[in-house]
């Protein structure tokens, strides 16, 4: 059937949405202004752990403008419930507004509404909360100390969940090992930080009993479902709209208490309510990520074969569990992905999330994998160093080469280009490796080269989420494609696009299936009123599964176009090709009919259709992930130059070789990879969300919480290998997160290579590198 | 992150500005580029009741006035980059301004604002202290000049009194056989420095005559290093003992230990920057002699 070669899939087409995004005509959450609107200001906890004795709002009565104030007493019973359905999990709920206790600095304690956002902020200053401080659980060690008081009533200690995954015979691997290498690695806590923060506007219209909620979210349908369940409204009467979203990166890929609370407030006050998060709120109270410690023990044979791996994983989760991935998601992910691209037969991981008086951990680009790959790839370098083997050599000795490969946990990897990308990277780095070697004799300036080789399970769907037993439950992505009588195409996409270029890539997919141009396709997304139910855009699934859904739906319309064309041209449907706007007979291209003519016939001149055919050119399809997802792979490499006397580390070169199967649009792939790498550079070198010993946050603005800036970023070289997967309709694997996964490991390995020392922790800022190079200064 | 309410006044002349500042006292604040004041107000760390906008006043300009280089308070940071007087007389100054923020900040930020804001590691306060500048301050009562070393009292605290404003800085012109350098390290380009060192030297016959040194990052305001200034006198430009100077100076300071950098690191960094700044200045002196 697929005689025609794709014309647009794989083409470097400039993103259509950029015209809007770059010309100031995009419409973000803060652009939404409704008549009679109230502005919300959160009063947030200033103490990390305390009993609330009293909230005094009496001063508001003296103001010369009206205010509305709500506390946990008003919202009692409303909460976020995010549980993994396993017996080991200790459950907690996050009240919409603190009830009785606060558990982290930034937790909402009250809301103050006023007719002007400035006045709301002024009024919030007049509300006084009397706190009785409780002992703070501030570190992983304290959280695991059974003597410390639990954060929640009825809990035993502060370990939220601890579980195991294993495969093979670890004792045998240990017994057979010539080398046992044990290391502890730490990635520090980070915030997510899209350029646009979060925000919510809600409005209830009693006339048609419809609640409309605009939210800067990656998952409008899930917000709708949660509102319905928590507030008891029918989903049919709730419309959630994600307008243009200025970056999400997973931060906006959870349902937040405030999204439901603001909907509730709009109904309660009878007026539209608006909240726009400020940067401080974003940094202290949206979600955090990457706060991991992993102790790994590797069993290695005398000839450098990895025999087995034992892992102990702790994630400092903060106080609450986020919806829908829960506090079990992050440690579980590490346990699952640590085996990585290497071939070994024995594995055991113990992983836990612990509760502390900090902001909750949620999903942020890469979700646990930047930390897992940091540990995995630091370990590979540390083993290579211990055995005196070249790091490339050691990896190549252990890399998986036969596909499909069933890993030690029973996950099946589809084909990738692991060894090939390692070999290719080694060639690309030859000169840098030589320079690094020469610089080893210098006590003042060192060059280092480091790599990270990893796989990423992408396009996970329902089978994977069912195993997780968390509220995400399902993973299909749906699309509805419609060709109107003039031949123009509309895609209503279950995904929400917040930088992924879906308005372009999905148009490319539909255009190829329908023999039209991407310019003929209008992609709509983000509005639950127009788009089919889906769980949102996150998890490197959009291209592979969203593209799959669009392809399937568009192909159904294409089949109908062919049937009508065959009828009109006296041919057979399987003899009709759809190309360049025409339906033409394959062996006689001179015999054709314009596709837009067929579109008109199918909806206006229906008497010309084959007998009994239903009018219309509309199709709805969904695409779910394969059992184990599909595995994208990549090698990242960093070349650093270190000033030993000041700790200043210059990232001279960053190279990516990635394989995400079929690329829908290489330009978009490059953009996704580069953006992710920049965030990974932040993890590696700068970003650290710091709490003091009382769990007071110290990095609450951009002067203290340091993100990478353009001058620090080298040109990022991106190379592609395409190994299409048989597991998704277009052969595409996911790639949205990969860029962010490798840099921490690659840069740490480069710094370790330069300094001739192990690197145990991120971020490698000037102070950290200066400390790590102490031995060089001392021997100089 | 919205400012508390305030009243805005646009000053139409210097006298008008001074009258307004006099009238509002503690409650009044000049606003120049707004690059520091506006964020402080948004965080509600600054809550002036009245802002006096001085941007329309004729307080810009870099000119020689007798034995001093006079820089008007509203001179924007970007003005120094192509200024021949700065390049000729104040190489350390020119080095330093390259470390200030980013282009938009340099376009708006003013020298009066920078020194009045008195961030502990801002460049222009350090430059003023290094060059023994006079800070010319006016109020309705008249004009007074404050020595830069006496101007900075602590982090964000200066000798300016309510009702006063800075109108200019006066930098004594150095003799021709002199040069200088300024080196800073920050976590990212454009950030306030973790530490910085500025040096000026007068030289003759291959030797250092008079020297001055300033350091930011060792204390809550830029400090001079009299011990090192002494140490450098008479040293050969080709071999000024820079590394030793760095060690001596680092041993004499007690920098803060915080989440940005440890005290140990600051000390080590300051020793190294001291060495580099002295060597850079000496190299320039050798090139000039
Ligand atoms: C992202 C960012 C990065 C920055 N990086 C740097 C950097 O690396 N180095 C650096 O030095 N600075 C940096 N700055 C600050 C910048 O240089 C400011 O411009 C400067 O600190 C203040 O100048 P201004 O004219 O903007 O003053 P304003 O913000 O208008 O005022 C600052 C203070 O000075 C007072 N004031 C202003 N003018 C006068 C006057 N004539 N007399 C008395 N008081 C006055 C105001 O009342 C206020 O208290 C940065 C700023 C930003 C936003």
**Interchain proximity A767–B265, CB inside 8 Å:** yes
Tokens of A615: 């009018």
**Residues 6+ positions from A355 with CB-CB distance below 8 Å:** A92, A137, A143, A150, A151, A152, A158, A159, A160, A317, A318, A319, A327
> Three-state secondary structure along A179-217?
EEEEEEEEECCEECCCCCCCEEEEEEECCCCEEEEEECC
> Do B268 and A706 lie within an 8 Å CB cutoff?
no
> What is the three-class DSSP state of B114?
helix
On whether any CB of chain A is under 8 Å from the CB of B250, the answer is no
Residue A744 three-state SS: helix
Number of H helices, E strands in chain A: 21, 32
Say yes or no for a CB contact (<8 Å) between B188 and A279: no
Beta-sheet strand order (sheet of A716-720): A445-458, A630-643, A649-659, A716-720
ω before A763 within 30° of 0 (cis)?
yes
CATH number of B7-53: 3.30.43.10
Prior bond of A324 cis (ω within 30°): yes
List, for residues A20-45, the tens digit of each pLDDT value.
999 999 999 999 999 999 999 999 99
- Upper half-sphere CA count for residue A705 (Cβ side, 13 Å): 23
Contacts of A769 in chain B (CB under 8 A): none
Which value, in Å, is the radius of gyration of the alpha carbons in chain B?
19
Residue of A nearest to B261 (CA): A767
Query: Position of tokens 């394989």?
Result: A659
- DSSP-derived 3-state class of residue B208: strand
For ligand 1, whether the C-beta of B277 sits within 6 Å is: no
Put simply, whether B191 touches A (Cβ < 8 Å) is: yes
* CB burial readout B145-161, b (16+ within 10 A) else e: ebebbebbeeebebebe
Ordered DSSP codes for B127-189: HHHHTTPEEEEEETTEEEEEEHHHHEEETTEESPPTT-EEEEEEEEPPPSSEEEEEEEE-SST
Under 8 Å CB pairs connecting chains A and B tally to: 59
Using DSSP's 3-state secondary structure scheme, residue A576 falls into strand
DSSP state of A363: -
In whole angstroms, what is the distance from residue A7 CA to residue A517 CA? 9
Contact A280 B1 (CB under 8 A): yes
Cα(A634)–Cα(A373) distance, integer angstroms: 11
Ligand 1, atom 50, lies closest to the CA of B101
Query: Distance from A171 to chain B by nearest Cα, in Å?
Result: 43
Structure tokens at A502: 């879906």
Cα–Cα distance, B245 to B271 (Å, whole number): 8
* CB pair distance less than 8 Å for B5 and A708: no
Three-class secondary structure of residue A653 per DSSP: strand
Q: With 90 as the cut, is the pLDDT of residue A566 above it?
A: yes
Q: Output the CA A30–ligand 1 centroid distance in Å.
A: 29
Q: How many helices (H) and strands (E) does chain B have?
A: 11, 14
Q: Where are the domains of chain B?
A: 7-53, 62-172, 178-288
The answer, yes or no, to whether residue A565 has pLDDT greater than 70, is yes
Confidence bin at A240 (pLDDT 50/70/90): very high
First CA to last CA distance, chain A: 71
In which band, very low, low, confident or very high, does the pLDDT at A3 lie, cut at 50, 70 and 90? very low
At A391, list the tokens. 């790091």
For chain A, domains (ranges, CATH) are 18-26+476-623 (3.30.365.10), 32-134+198-245+252-285 (3.90.1170.50), 288-462+627-779 (3.30.365.10)
On the question of pLDDT at A452 being above 50, the answer is yes
Are B51 and B33 a contacting pair, CB within 8 Å? no
Residue B271: its H or E element: helix B263-288
How far away, in angstroms, is B110 Cα from ligand 1 center? 6
- Domain B178-288 in CATH 3.40.50.300? The answer is no
Helices A502-514 + A547-569 axis angle, to 10? 30
Q: What is the mean pLDDT of residues A446-454?
A: 98
Give how far the C-alpha of residue A111 lies from the chain's centroid of Cα atoms, to the nearest Å: 29
Q: Return the ∠ at Cα A219 (arms to A217 and A222), rounded to 5°.
A: 125
CB-CB contact of A519 with A500 (8 Å): no
Q: Provide the residue-wise pLDDT of chain B in tens; the chain has 289 residues.
A: 999 999 999 999 999 999 999 999 999 999 999 999 999 999 999 999 999 999 999 999 999 999 999 999 999 999 999 999 999 999 999 999 999 999 999 999 999 999 999 999 999 999 999 999 999 999 999 999 999 999 999 999 999 999 999 999 999 999 999 999 999 999 999 999 999 999 999 999 999 999 999 999 999 999 999 999 999 999 999 999 999 999 999 999 999 999 889 999 999 999 999 999 999 999 999 999 8
If you write DSSP's letter for every residue of A420-470 in order, what string do you get? HHHHHHHHHTHHHHHHHHHHTT-SSEEEEEEEEEEEEEES--HHHHHHHTS
Q: What whole-number percentage of chain A has pLDDT above 70?
A: 99
Of A364, A445, A334, A29, the closest CA to residue A212 belongs to: A29
Q: In sequence order, what are the residues at sequence separation of 6 or more whose Cβ sits closer than 8 angstroms to the Cβ of residue A349? A: A164, A165, A166, A310, A311, A312, A313, A334, A335, A338
Atom from ligand 1 closest to the CA of residue B59: 41
Pairing, β A238-241 against β A210-215? parallel
Tell me which residue in A686, A709, A767 faces B262 most closely, judged by beta carbons.
A767
CA B38, CA B46: separation in Å to the nearest integer? Answer: 9
Cα R_g (chain A), whole angstroms: 27
Strand partners, A105: none
Helix (H, G, I), strand (E, B) or coil at A496: coil
pLDDT at A2 over 50: no
How much is the average pLDDT of A572-601?
97
Nearest to B269 among A646, A692, A704 (CB): A646
Reply yes or no on whether the pLDDT at A1 is more than 60: no
* Domain formed by B62-172, architecture: 2-Layer Sandwich (3.30)
Over residues A249-286, the pLDDT tens digits come to 999 999 999 999 999 999 999 999 999 999 999 999 99
pLDDT at residue A5, rounded to an integer: 67
Neighbouring C-alpha atoms within 13 Å toward the C-beta of A547: 31
What is the DSSP secondary structure assignment for residue A324, as one 8-state letter? T
In b/e form, how buried is each residue of A699-714, taking b as 16+ CB within 10 angstroms?
bbeeebbbbbbeebee
Backbone angles phi, psi at B127, to 5 degrees: -60, -40
ipTM: 0.96
Evaluate whether A82 touches A230 at the Cβ level (below 8 Å). no
Rounded Cα–Cα distance for residues A217 and A224 (Å): 11
d(CA A250, CA A753): 32
What is the C-alpha separation between B130 and B89, in angstroms, rounded?
13
Q: Do B259 and A646 touch (CB under 8 A)?
A: no
Rounded Cα gap, residues B105 and A706, in angstroms: 18
User: What's CA A492's distance to the chain center, in Å?
Assistant: 22
Both structure tokens of B98: 């390259």
Query: 3-state class of B263 per DSSP?
Result: helix
Q: Torsion angle of alpha carbons B82, B84, B86, B89, nearest 10°?
A: 150
Report the relative pairing of strands B165-172 and B68-72 from DSSP bridges. antiparallel
Residues A241, A496: Cα–Cα separation, whole Å: 10
Q: Helix, strand, or coil here: B267?
A: helix
A702 CA closest ligand 1 atom index: 1
Where residue A6 falls among pLDDT bands split at 50, 70, 90? confident
Alpha carbons A350 and A314: distance in angstroms, whole number: 9
């Amino acid at each position: 059937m697929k005689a025609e070669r794709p014309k647009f899939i794989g083409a470097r087409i400039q993103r259509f949405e950029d015209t809007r995004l770059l010309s100031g005509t995009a419409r973000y959450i803060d652009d939404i202004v409704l008549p009679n609107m109230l502005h919300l200001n959160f009063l947030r906890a200033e103490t990390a752990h305390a009993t609330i004795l009293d909230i005094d709002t009496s001063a508001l009565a003296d103001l010369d403008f009206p205010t509305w104030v709500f506390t946990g007493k008003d919202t009692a019973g409303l909460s976020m419930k995010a549980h993994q359905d396993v017996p080991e999990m200790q459950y907690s709920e996050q009240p919409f507004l603190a009830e009785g206790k606060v558990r982290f600095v930034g937790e909402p304690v009250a809301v103050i509404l006023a007719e002007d956002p400035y006045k709301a902020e002024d009024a919030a200053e007049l509300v006084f909360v009397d706190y009785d401080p409780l002992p703070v659980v501030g570190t992983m060690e304290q959280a695991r100390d059974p003597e410390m008081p639990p954060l929640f009533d009825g809990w035993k200690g502060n370990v939220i969940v601890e579980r195991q995954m294993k495969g093979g015979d670890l004792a045998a691997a240990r017994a057979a090992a010539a080398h046992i290498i044990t290391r502890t690695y730490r990635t520090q806590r980070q915030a997510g930080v899209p350029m646009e923060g979060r925000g919510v506007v809600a409005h209830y219209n009693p006339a048609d009993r419809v609640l409309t909620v605009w939210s800067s979210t990656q998952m409008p349908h899930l917000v709708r479902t949660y509102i319905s369940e928590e507030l008891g409204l029918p989903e049919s009467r709730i419309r959630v709209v994600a307008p243009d979203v200025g970056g999400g990166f997973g931060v906006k890929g959870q349902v937040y208490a405030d999204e439901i609370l603001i909907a509730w407030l709009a109904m309660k006050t009878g007026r539209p309510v608006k909240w726009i998060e400020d940067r401080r709120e974003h940094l202290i109270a949206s979600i955090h990520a990457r706060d991991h410690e992993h102790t790994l023990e590797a069993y290695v044979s005398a000839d450098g074969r990895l025999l087995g791996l034992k892992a102990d994983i702790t994630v400092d989760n903060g106080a609450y569990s986020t919806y829908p991935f829960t506090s079990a998601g992050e440690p579980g992910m590490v346990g699952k992905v640590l085996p990585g691209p290497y071939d070994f037969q024995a594995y055991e991981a113990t992983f836990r999330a612990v509760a502390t008086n900090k902001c909750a951990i949620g999903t942020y680009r890469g979700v646990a994998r930047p930390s897992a790959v940091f540990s995995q790839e630091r370990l590979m370098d540390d083993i290579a160093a211990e055995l005196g083997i070249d790091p490339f050599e050691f990896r190549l000795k252990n890399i998986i080469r036969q596909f499909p490969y069933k890993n030690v946990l029973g996950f099946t990897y589809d084909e990738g280009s692991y060894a090939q990308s390692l070999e290719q990277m080694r060639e690309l780095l030859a000169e840098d490796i030589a320079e690094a070697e020469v610089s080893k004799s210098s006590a003042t300036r060192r060059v280092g080269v480091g790599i990270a080789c990893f796989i990423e399970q992408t396009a996970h769907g329902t089978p994977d989420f069912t195993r997780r037993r968390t509220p995400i439950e399902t993973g299909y992505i749906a699309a509805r494609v419609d060709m109107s009588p003039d031949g123009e195409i509309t895609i209503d996409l279950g995904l929400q696009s917040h930088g992924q270029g879906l308005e372009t890539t999905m148009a490319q997919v539909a255009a190829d299936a329908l023999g039209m141009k991407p310019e003929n396709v209008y992609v709509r997304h983000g509005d639950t009123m127009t788009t089919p139910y889906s769980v949102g855009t996150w998890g490197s699934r959009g291209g592979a599964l969203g593209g799959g859904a669009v392809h399937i739906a568009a192909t159904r319309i294409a089949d109908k176009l062919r049937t009508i064309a065959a009828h009109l041209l006296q041919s057979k449907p399987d003899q009709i090709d759809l190309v360049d706007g025409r339906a033409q007979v394959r062996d006689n291209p001179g015999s054709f009919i314009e596709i837009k003519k067929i579109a008109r016939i199918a909806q206006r001149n229906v008497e010309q259709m084959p007998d009994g055919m239903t009018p219309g050119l509309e199709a709805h399809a969904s695409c779910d992930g394969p059992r184990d997802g599909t595995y994208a792979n990549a090698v990242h490499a960093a070349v650093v130059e270190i000033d030993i006397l000041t700790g200043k580390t210059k990232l001279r070169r960053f190279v990516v070789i990635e394989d995400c199967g079929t690329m829908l649009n290489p330009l978009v792939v490059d953009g996704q990879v580069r953006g992710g790498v920049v965030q990974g550079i932040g993890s590696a070198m700068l970003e650290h969300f710091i709490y003091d010993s009382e769990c007071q946050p110290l990095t609450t603005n951009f002067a203290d919480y340091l993100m990478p800036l353009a001058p620090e970023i080298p040109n990022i070289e991106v190379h592609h290998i395409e190994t299409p997967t048989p597991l998704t309709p277009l052969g595409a694997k996911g790639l949205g997160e990969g860029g962010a996964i490798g840099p921490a490991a690659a840069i740490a390995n480069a710094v370790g290579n330069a300094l001739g020392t192990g690197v145990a922790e991120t971020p490698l800022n000037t102070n950290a590198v200066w400390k790590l190079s102490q031995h060089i200064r001392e021997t100089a | 992150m919205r400012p508390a309410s305030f009243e805005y006044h646009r000053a139409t002349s210097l006298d008008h500005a001074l009258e307004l500042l006099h009238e509002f006292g503690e409650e009044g604040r000049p606003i120049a580029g707004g690059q520091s004041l506006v964020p402080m107000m948004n965080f509600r760390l600054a809550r002036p009741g009245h802002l006096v906008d001085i941007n329309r006043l004729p307080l810009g300009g870099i000119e020689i006035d007798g034995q001093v280089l006079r820089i008007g308070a509203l001179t924007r940071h970007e003005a120094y980059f192509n200024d021949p007087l700065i390049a000729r007389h104040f190489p350390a100054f020119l080095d330093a301004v390259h470390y200030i923020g980013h282009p938009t900040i340099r376009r708006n930020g003013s020298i009066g604002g920078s020194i009045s804001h008195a961030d502990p590691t801002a460049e222009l306060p350090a430059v003023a202290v290094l060059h023994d500048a006079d800070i010319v301050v006016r109020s309705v009562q008249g004009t007074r000049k404050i020595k830069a070393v006496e101007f900075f009292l602590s982090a964000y605290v200066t000798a300016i009194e309510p009702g006063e404003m800075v109108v200019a800085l006066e930098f004594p012109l150095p003799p021709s056989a002199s040069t200088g350098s300024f080196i800073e390290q920050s976590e990212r380009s454009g950030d306030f420095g973790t530490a910085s060192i500025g040096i000026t030297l007068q030289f003759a016959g291959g030797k250092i005559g008079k020297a001055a040194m300033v350091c930011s990052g060792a204390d809550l305001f830029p400090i001079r290093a009299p011990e090192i200034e002494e140490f450098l006198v008479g040293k050969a430009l080709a071999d000024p003992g820079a590394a030793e100077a760095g060690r001596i100076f680092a041993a004499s300071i007690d920098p803060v230990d915080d989440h940005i950098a440890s005290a140990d690191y600051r000390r080590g960094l300051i020793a190294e920057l001291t060495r580099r700044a002295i060597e850079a200045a000496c190299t320039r002196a050798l090139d000039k002699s």
